[in-house]
Structure 1
């Protein structure tokens, strides 16, 4: 067993968010060099957000290095403190590099349409015959399994799990700052240096010294703002809707025996639920965009149109709606779309967005969220929302956003006949477009 060596000379990545990313361990350097990690350079961190914020071209590779760097800094703070086991250091660093390794192109859209799961692919890439697995096994035959368990949140050391996956962790602290930087917004900024300085290890989780409460409040509000101003931006959601419908159309056409001019060779495994690990690793956003380019020339009018809309940014319009609308007017609206020559399965879409910015502990919930704890000067732990009025105000409150998406040319043409006039009346009643 080769184990790990300290590199004769530290490797450094220049990073626009953290300034520098430092790599001292041969294990980490070699992990970064594997084909599976390098593949993340070809997968955007924010999916379709680049169609809203033109700077959002950063990748999951950027983010993975950033999470590693924050994890490295947390460990530096923890060294020599009670409850920290130095033997867990490389495990934490490897999990940070690999936590997103299973994401595919436009990850969440693919997952919903083709019923796949990036977490399952993460496990397979770590445990099966891959370059990542070969590097990890240098630390022992059980080391890949330990890394997978940390990422899956099943590892027996809860402190280690909390450092990569909790309500304040290395993953969130990187993506909030990185996504804010590349989208150009001011919402995602908070004093990470302060949070890291006052972070302390306990048996169950990483906690924050009471003196750092205001920095954590800032972090929580940054997350809240980023979700509603960036992640759930209606233009981004519109692009996501079109992408999802495009993928659905490919699946429907393939299953009906449609003869593609450019057959969806890289998609067939997804459609048939028989994709191999090697096929999965070969699929990235450059491959999917090639197909979208070629399918603009397909004979199927819907596939052709959806590809052109996505590539040329001719997105759907949106209006807000409520449950009363769905119950009373949805069926009529669908029929009106059919009468107007638009298939409502592809051109009339309901989209929900919801987020819970911070949650206190709820025993027995399907997904139990460990709350953030503050460490007082007399070594007692206090749950954040009990000490912060700001956080208490948003704790446990899920905000939900409901929109209907449709081609805006329907409204522009509205009034040319009774059908389109009625469509406009219904949609404008929703508050909008």
Structure 2
């Protein structure tokens, strides 16, 4: 019998940061847990790989990258005489490691279709509380920080703010895997410039240009990647596939699905009934369940379900038009009527193929400011501290409207 204990202080090799050290045995055990291993089967960017073929990285990659950056942030702040206890340090590692654990298959698609009334942040918290019970209360402080209930504000800001560790990793990582170089921020420089003043996470004046680049990079990544028109179409089509499947399931129609997907299709899910069993079924649900179901549904007798599924599998997506003004109701209604007539569907069914929505890109929100710390020790909002007029402009949200419809009905 082999009694040799496993080495829990592993080193992982990351394509962006190189070697990443697992800081302690608790972090190792959380990473090894099935809840966390599931993140290997959840893509970070949903269907963005239909636009950028390299965008196949997962939530697992992102979470591991975040813990690496958090270790750097703790080191930098301690060097600047910011008191962070060993317990707080560990809690930061746990909180950032688990900040995305509640994401469902294909990220946000489930939230808008079959798992309604509860956000991925709330599900993350449920996972954390369940893990806390398993690890005998060792996640207490991490949960307090994650919920924003800790009196030391900057600890929460490292997890969730406009310049948090989450954003510092995903912008750099998504830029790397998509090949969109505009998003390649200097996370090292930004972390090196971090400090704490009046319990606020701030950036020293020397780092102002890095913050400017970060905000502009975020804006560009949203337009070029996260809100790319083809990605928008694919994600909305996936939402509609799942909505149609849920509709059919409610009517008692038999659908092929894995046991976990079946559970969410044939049971109404809300915050009120999201119990331990639901959490376990959610933990068993990933991208593979959804993709295999869509492949099977492409042969289903329901015309809406099969057509949408085939279009996604074969990347024959809907056409999209984007403009600054809202589309007129008459324009949308005419498209719906055209589809209804040409594909022989009811007008209600045609709305799975014709829909109009809006998108918003708000690169900098002044209600959650990024503060610049000058040499005199004063704090100034980046929008006022910067001499770059673009930064002030980024405080205004940009809203655009889009309509999707099948290409074959073009007049």
Name the TM-score, length of structure 1 as normaliser.
0.85
What is the deviation of 1:85? 2.3
Aligned pair count?
Answer: 390
Question: SS of the residue aligned with 2:23?
Answer: strand
Distance change in 2, residues 1:200/1:99 (3 Å): same
Closer, same or farther in 2 for the Cα pair 1:248/1:122, shift >3 Å? same
After superposition, the CA RMSD in angstroms is 2.0
8 Å CA contact 2:43–2:59 kept in 1: the answer is yes
Q: Secondary structure at the match of 2:123?
A: helix
1:218 aligns with 2:218: no
Match of 1:384 in 2: 382
Once the two structures are superposed, what CA deviation does each residue of 1:356-412 show, in whole Å capped at 9, x if it has no partner? 101223xxxxxxx2x11111112111111111132533242101121111111222x
What is the CA distance between 1:82 and its match in structure 2?
A: 4.2
Does the aligned pair in 1 maintain the 2:327–2:403 contact within 8 Å?
A: no
For residues 5-404 of structure 1, what are the structure 2 equivalents within 5 Å?
10-86=9-85, 87-114=87-114, 115=116, 116-128=118-130, 130=131, 133-135=133-135, 137=136, 141=137, 143-260=138-255, 262=256, 265-271=259-265, 272-273=268-269, 276-321=278-323, 323=325, 325-341=327-343, 342=345, 343-361=349-367, 369=368, 371-390=369-388, 391-404=390-403
Q: 5+ unaligned residues in a row in structure 1: which ranges?
A: 1-6, 362-368, 412-423, 425-433
Give me the whole-angstrom Cα distance separating, in 2, the residues matched to 1:405 and 1:104: 25
8 Å Cα contact 2:245/2:305 also seen in 1: yes
- Paired residues of 1:158 and 1:203 also in contact (CA < 8 A): no
On the 8 A contact 1:198/1:208 being kept in 2, the answer is: yes
Report which stretch shifted further, 144-153 or 11-20. 144-153
Higher mean displacement: 108-117 or 146-155 = 146-155
Contact 1:173 1:192 in 2 (8 A): yes
TM-score by length of 2: 0.89
1:355/1:152 CA distance change after superposition, 3 Å: farther
328-337 vs 283-292, which moves further: 328-337
8 Å Cα contact 1:96-1:164 kept in structure 2? yes
Q: 1:108 to 1:8 in 2, by over 3 A?
A: closer
Indicate if the aligned counterparts of 1:125 and 1:133 stay in contact, CA closer than 8 A. Answer: no
- CA change 1:264–1:248 in 2 (3 A) is farther
Instruction: Give distance in 1, aligned partners of 2:332 and 2:307.
Output: 24
Residue in 1 aligned with 2:3? none
Displacement of 1:144 after TM fit? 2.7
